[in-house]
Structure 1
Amino acid sequence: MEQLKHECGVAMIRLLKPLEYYEEKYGTWMYGLNKLYLLMEKQHNRGQEGAGLACVKLEANPGEEYMFRERALGSSAITEIFGTVQSNFKDLPKEQLHDAGYAKRVLPFAGEVYMGHLRYSTTGKSGISYVHPFLRRNNWRAKNLALCGNFNMTNVDEIFARITAIGQHPRKYADTYIMLEQVGHRLDREVERVFNLAEAEGLAGMEITRYIEDHIDLANVLRTSSKEWDGGYVMCGLTGSGETFAVRDPWGIRTAFWYQDDEIVVLASERPVIQTALNVPAGSIRELQPGQAMFIHKAGKVRTVQINKPREVRPCSFERIYFSRGSDADIYRERKLLGEKLVPNILKAIDYDIDHTVFSFIPNTAEVAFYGMLQGLDEYLNEEKVYQIDALGHAPGHDELERILSRRIRSEKVAIKDIKLRTFIAEGNSRNDLAAHVYDITYGSLVPGEDNLVIIDDSIVRGTTLRQSIIGILDRLNPKKIVIVSSSPQVRYPDYYGIDMSRMSEFIAFKAAVELLKERDMKDVIAAAYRKSKEQVGLPKEQMVNYVKDIYAPFTDEEISAKMVELLTPKGTKAQVQIVYQPLEGLHEACPKHPGDWYFSGDYPTPGGVKLLNAAFIDYIEQVYQF
């Protein structure tokens, strides 16, 4: 319903055979390039703002370019960057196009190592200079670095202060630039360490270069550069000499998966994209573990190393609810279970009147949860049928059985997303009117004045689309009651690890709690939470406490939901409206391996999350109340 514009995606490919091998077996030396395109397109849901790719040729001769990069802005950036790359080849005669040796010597992007990135900004910083991969150039091949990632760092200020104090000078105050400078600095030191070893062995000239590229250890680089990072991340990189790496945060907040056979090594943000791109079973794909890094040596040897000690592992549950592709077997099962877990609260909301209720979903992300909800409702109805047949107390007649067994869960496609309406009108009043028609309805899908309408969505964060479009358009069907169901719990707190929701003013649950405090003459709760938060400013982040929880503490989930209904229901709505949320326990039962729930519970996995929440709450209160 409300598009949450997280999040970045990564893809890496390392070919383990010469380009001639792929030309002979697959009919093109562009096998790696084509697979990268597929991996990126299959993760297009993560890249609404830009995309980029980098390539390294192994064993290029001095004077020949060996490291290439292409970037573009916009939702069609993937097509644009690959179109630009292909433009280097399109006018070649067929013989040259299929000459892998010629491609390797002459053509740009004809390499063995590829890295791709899909970007969405969660910090408000945009433009081509912020699109990954980032490059750090050097005359030493091993010191060249390309970096990209799916991440947000919560302690950029601390890292920036520390690295500038020792003389480093990042080009921009942004976490990617700062991390590039950190990793690049440690890479320089690692090269110098190996250089000294080579000299001690009496090597000179190109012998030193080869020795460095054969003996460099990127695990040393990552250990020293990542130990202070606070946030959720999967960071990927490659060097000019062909070393490749990916490292995951020690809390396991962000995810990455990898696959290896004798032809190729692949890494991506999501498992099913590897399954699809390479046609391999899920069981052959490994997950990068919290705090772990995967390295691919320039010679093609793959190893994993524990870089940072795993902390309390808190993988992001929003990945499962909303962002990851539902084609993953585990995610599909979890989303169905999220829908099924809601059935008891849904039945309560409709007073168990299944016969006069139509069930539907908000297109398109809630569709899988909808199927789980239907499955749970079917099980409930079957139990009802058994009870009714037992209650007859005699051998039932045909008509009696038919009346009981003919009862069905009524499901319809009630809401239809009319995406093409969004793009034209920008003027205020016209735009508001247009927003009200982003969704259309299926007329005649329920009995006016008699039927309830239950409609499920994956999450309700801001409530904007409910207020501007959904409730008003559904009310045109004249249902007796509209029950909006969220497969996730109430979103109460900002995210600082890569999801685009970082301000307190965005959350309808927070607005509802504040309104309840005002109504009940409890403004002192707001003032006390503000005062305690303000007193924490300047403390080490490890000592900070989440006092925003005090805003919600006086109320039940149901009270907050009821207030949300008041705030979101347009004037003139005829139907009664209710919002039903997933309980936090239901989320954890459905997604037991992904307990990261800070946006619902306020229990942040890292100290930096609490620090940024504290700042956001203070900023909100001072803007609204002019403290």
Structure 2
Amino acid sequence: MSDAIKHECGLAFIRLRKPFSYYLQQYGTVMWGLNKLYLLMEKQHNRGQDGAGVASVKLNVEPGYPFLQRIRSSAHQPIADVFRQINQEVKELEKYQPDVMKHPGLMKGHISYLGELLLGHLRYGTQGKNNVEFCHPFIKRHTIPARNMALAGNFNLVNTDELFDLINIEPGEFQKQSDLAAMMEVIHHFVVKGDEQSPGEMDVLSALRKAVPLFDGGFTVGGLLGNGDSFIFRDAHGIRPAYYYISEDVIVAASERSAIRTVFNVGENEVKELMPGMGLIVKGNGEITIDKITEPKERKACSFERIYFSRGSDEKIYRERNALGYNLSPQILNAIDHDLKNTIFSFIPNTAEVAFYGLWKGLDDYLKQVKIQRILSWGRDISEDKLSEMINRKIRVEKIAIKDVKMRTFITEDVSRNEMVQHVYDITYGTVEKGVDTLVVIDDSIVRGTTLKESIVRMLARLEPKKIIIVSSAPQIRYPDCYGIDMSKLGDFVAFRAAIELMKETGKEDCLKELYEKCKELQRLGQLHTENVVQNVYKPFTTEQISDKIAELITPKGLNLPVQVIFQTIESLHKSCPTNTGDWYFTGNYPTPGGNRVVNKAFINYMEGKNVRGY
């Protein structure tokens, strides 16, 4: 993605099913669980780099000894920092007891995070600030062990105010800025209620069934209780991803299937998807339950997971990204008038690479058909030179764009900063025949268009092609997200700005005022959640008109060569990614009422000139 956006979070859960002495004997170390947690988090580091945290619960601890520990970091490399601190404790112990690693009982008693229950989290800050206090897991302390809780998740909620009201809590300044704080208060409220009614007989399933239906958002959440119970649950639409693996040694859950497969070296079918509305609950005695937490609704798993966010090492995701590129080939062939001889294809590094391979295959399949038809049309009028020339025709592929190391600049002056931004990407010179070749470059998505305009298009133009075509493997991003991705300001989207420009050009500016007044009226009536008013901004225009206007907006001033933008269609998106049909970014069809409220609030903010998030 050329325009960086903060997105998602990553969850890692491990429940050891055997004594630490077993792991020492079987795997050579009592640290096996913590080592696996580290790997599970590292294999998902793409999901969060603002912070990391780990919580641990020890089973069967003597009264008066610590049983719940939590460590967090917002350092430059937070995962490494967390585990460096954990391992430092081991090193300190080894100074006094050199062979301590051979004594599981001593290790458990002296190493704070050596617990049977482990919960790890990787954070991208979409809500709240990026300091360590906002890093998950959060913990709730209580004098009764079973009422102690650690909680972490991959989610956003859009009804935090209502949740605090529901349980009669006046949130503090910190709580107001964190949806996890609201979720924790609600879950803890029902956990405590249940424990009060049946002391010593904790019913986690019952507590979650009361709490989870109250949450409006997309979420995968993990929790640990002080009595040894633990859980993972997923929202009713399956918006955020969740996978698990169970063996005789361990119970594992994570945000990415491929991370579990790699870390535990297991097959695809051994890692299961936790289905929408379901929960995986492990009691302190090791009993496992997979049961319904909230009534499942229409599956709306996030399509952006498949386009960009999740690791492409998952075989299904790889195939789907490949298909996204393949299905774009007919549009691109039409755009270049099927002139493959004078067209060069490339991609924006690095996440668009797999879609590029799919596009390449689609074009190559077309070229093969052309070769077959041409050769057949010759009949007997054939020669070795003629045949050789035809067979050796290829799709022209070059690595045009090169992403340099992440550039940072101390310069604040706008003109100078723009000059620096131009050089985030570089180009390979000598690859394009000037004024003859068309240059087609695929990106996985186009959000703001800023990097395209200020860096990529400007740099590509230095090669002096006949034309530049920018291709997006995702459809036009038109609407904000409120389920875990930091895209909540309408004015940031180049597709929205294009629609606004078209409205101005066609004399429809009064429509914007009418839509604003409608949103304000819905807000006054407490009905902002009932419909997506912003869909009316796009209705007067075709997808092609908006694409053409986007091309204008991303073309630097003074550039004297044509620039075209081609987007994936909604139909092709669903064909390529059939199990992840959550497409609200592109269609505005939100799976929960909170989505409508957020998009309408974002429109109000835009019209009032407020540069703040919509939730």
C-alpha separation in 1, matches of 2:173 and 2:249: 38
The answer as to whether partners of 1:541 and 1:608 remain within 8 angstroms in 2 is no
- Counterpart in the other structure of 1:127: 131
| 1:536, distance to aligned residue in structure 2 (A) | 0.9
The answer as to whether partners of 1:417 and 1:438 remain within 8 angstroms in 2 is yes
- Counterpart in the other structure of 1:321: 307
- Counterpart in the other structure of 1:31: 32
C-alpha separation in 1, matches of 2:247 and 2:76: 33
- Counterpart in the other structure of 2:196: 192
Letter in 1 for 2:175: K
- Counterpart in the other structure of 1:5: 6
Report SS of the residue matched to 1:421: coil
- Counterpart in the other structure of 1:69: 70
The answer as to whether partners of 1:294 and 1:302 remain within 8 angstroms in 2 is yes
Report SS of the residue matched to 2:190: helix
Does 2:442 align with 1:456? Answer: yes
| 1:169, distance to aligned residue in structure 2 (A) | 7.5
Relative to structure 1, the CA distance from residue 28 to residue 143 in structure 2 (aligned partners, 3 Å threshold; closer, same or farther) is same
- Counterpart in the other structure of 2:53: 52
- Counterpart in the other structure of 1:217: 203
How big is each residue's C-alpha offset from its partner over 1:37-86, in whole Å with a ceiling of 9 and x where there is no partner?
Answer: 00101111111211100001101111111111100114401011111111
Q: 2:492 aligns with which of 478, 499, 506?
A: 506
| 1:194, distance to aligned residue in structure 2 (A) | 2.0
How big is each residue's C-alpha offset from its partner over 1:290-318, in whole Å with a ceiling of 9 and x where there is no partner?
Answer: 11000011111211110100112111000
Q: 2:180 aligns with which of 163, 167, 176?
A: 176
C-alpha separation in 2, matches of 1:425 and 1:30: 46
- Counterpart in the other structure of 1:535: 521
Pairs within 5 Å for 1:226-245:
226-245=212-231
| 1:168, distance to aligned residue in structure 2 (A) | 8.4
C-alpha separation in 2, matches of 1:189 and 1:282: 40
| 1:449, distance to aligned residue in structure 2 (A) | 1.4
C-alpha separation in 2, matches of 1:541 and 1:36: 44
- Counterpart in the other structure of 1:198: none
| 1:617, distance to aligned residue in structure 2 (A) | 0.5
Unmatched runs of 5 consecutive residues or more in structure 2:
none
- Counterpart in the other structure of 2:18: 17
Does 2:124 align with 1:138? Answer: no
RMSD (CA atoms): 1.6
- Counterpart in the other structure of 2:102: 98
Q: 1:293 aligns with which of 264, 269, 279?
A: 279
C-alpha separation in 2, matches of 1:366 and 1:244: 38
The answer as to whether partners of 2:74 and 2:132 remain within 8 angstroms in 1 is yes
- Counterpart in the other structure of 2:82: 81
How big is each residue's C-alpha offset from its partner over 1:63-111, in whole Å with a ceiling of 9 and x where there is no partner?
Answer: 1111111001144010111111111011314311331111122221111
How big is each residue's C-alpha offset from its partner over 1:205-240, in whole Å with a ceiling of 9 and x where there is no partner?
Answer: xxxxxxx2xx32200110111121111001110011
Report SS of the residue matched to 1:537: helix
- Counterpart in the other structure of 1:369: 355
| 1:171, distance to aligned residue in structure 2 (A) | 5.9
| 1:553, distance to aligned residue in structure 2 (A) | 0.6
Unmatched runs of 5 consecutive residues or more in structure 1:
196-211
**Greater CA deviation, 72-81 or 244-253?**
72-81
The answer as to whether partners of 1:170 and 1:178 remain within 8 angstroms in 2 is no
Report SS of the residue matched to 2:12: strand
The answer as to whether partners of 1:509 and 1:560 remain within 8 angstroms in 2 is yes
C-alpha separation in 2, matches of 1:476 and 1:27: 58
Does 2:542 align with 1:561? Answer: no
The answer as to whether partners of 2:467 and 2:561 remain within 8 angstroms in 1 is yes
Relative to structure 1, the CA distance from residue 240 to residue 2 in structure 2 (aligned partners, 3 Å threshold; closer, same or farther) is same
- Counterpart in the other structure of 1:383: 369
Q: 1:412 aligns with which of 398, 408, 411?
A: 398
The answer as to whether partners of 1:5 and 1:500 remain within 8 angstroms in 2 is yes
Letter in 1 for 2:535: K
How big is each residue's C-alpha offset from its partner over 1:514-558, in whole Å with a ceiling of 9 and x where there is no partner?
Answer: 001101111122122222222211445586111111111111111
C-alpha separation in 2, matches of 1:337 and 1:45: 22
- Counterpart in the other structure of 2:464: 478
- Counterpart in the other structure of 2:557: 571
| 1:123, distance to aligned residue in structure 2 (A) | 2.4
C-alpha separation in 1, matches of 2:233 and 2:128: 25
C-alpha separation in 1, matches of 2:75 and 2:370: 53
The answer as to whether partners of 1:359 and 1:410 remain within 8 angstroms in 2 is yes
How big is each residue's C-alpha offset from its partner over 1:400-441, in whole Å with a ceiling of 9 and x where there is no partner?
Answer: 111211110010111000024335545543322111000011
- Counterpart in the other structure of 1:604: 590
Letter in 2 for 1:29: V
C-alpha separation in 1, matches of 2:590 and 2:179: 20
Letter in 2 for 1:17: K
TM-score norm. by structure 1 comes to 0.94
Letter in 2 for 1:596: G
C-alpha separation in 2, matches of 1:45 and 1:308: 29
C-alpha separation in 1, matches of 2:175 and 2:132: 13
How big is each residue's C-alpha offset from its partner over 1:7-63, in whole Å with a ceiling of 9 and x where there is no partner?
Answer: 111000000000011111111100000000001011111112111000011011111
C-alpha separation in 1, matches of 2:179 and 2:510: 37
The answer as to whether partners of 1:168 and 1:181 remain within 8 angstroms in 2 is no
Q: 2:335 aligns with which of 349, 364, 372?
A: 349
C-alpha separation in 2, matches of 1:170 and 1:116: 26
| 1:175, distance to aligned residue in structure 2 (A) | 1.3
| 1:572, distance to aligned residue in structure 2 (A) | 2.4
Relative to structure 1, the CA distance from residue 335 to residue 75 in structure 2 (aligned partners, 3 Å threshold; closer, same or farther) is farther
C-alpha separation in 1, matches of 2:519 and 2:159: 18
Letter in 2 for 1:81: V
Report SS of the residue matched to 1:146: strand
Q: 1:312 aligns with which of 298, 308, 323?
A: 298
C-alpha separation in 1, matches of 2:161 and 2:89: 42
Letter in 2 for 1:555: F
Report SS of the residue matched to 1:485: strand
The answer as to whether partners of 1:414 and 1:445 remain within 8 angstroms in 2 is yes
Does 2:158 align with 1:154? Answer: yes
How big is each residue's C-alpha offset from its partner over 1:183-208, in whole Å with a ceiling of 9 and x where there is no partner?
Answer: 1111111221221xxxxxxxxxxxxx
| 1:124, distance to aligned residue in structure 2 (A) | 4.5
**Greater CA deviation, 385-394 or 51-60?**
385-394
The share of aligned pairs that are identical, in percent, is 48
How big is each residue's C-alpha offset from its partner over 1:456-495, in whole Å with a ceiling of 9 and x where there is no partner?
Answer: 0000010010111000000011110110000000000000
Report SS of the residue matched to 1:566: helix
C-alpha separation in 2, matches of 1:32 and 1:132: 19
- Counterpart in the other structure of 1:277: 263
Relative to structure 1, the CA distance from residue 385 to residue 404 in structure 2 (aligned partners, 3 Å threshold; closer, same or farther) is same
How big is each residue's C-alpha offset from its partner over 1:107-162, in whole Å with a ceiling of 9 and x where there is no partner?
Answer: 21111110000111112533221111001001111110000000101111221222
Report SS of the residue matched to 1:277: helix
C-alpha separation in 1, matches of 2:536 and 2:171: 42
Relative to structure 1, the CA distance from residue 74 to residue 467 in structure 2 (aligned partners, 3 Å threshold; closer, same or farther) is farther
The answer as to whether partners of 2:152 and 2:221 remain within 8 angstroms in 1 is yes
Aligned length: 606
Report SS of the residue matched to 1:355: coil
C-alpha separation in 2, matches of 1:172 and 1:511: 34
Report SS of the residue matched to 1:90: helix
Does 2:441 align with 1:438? Answer: no
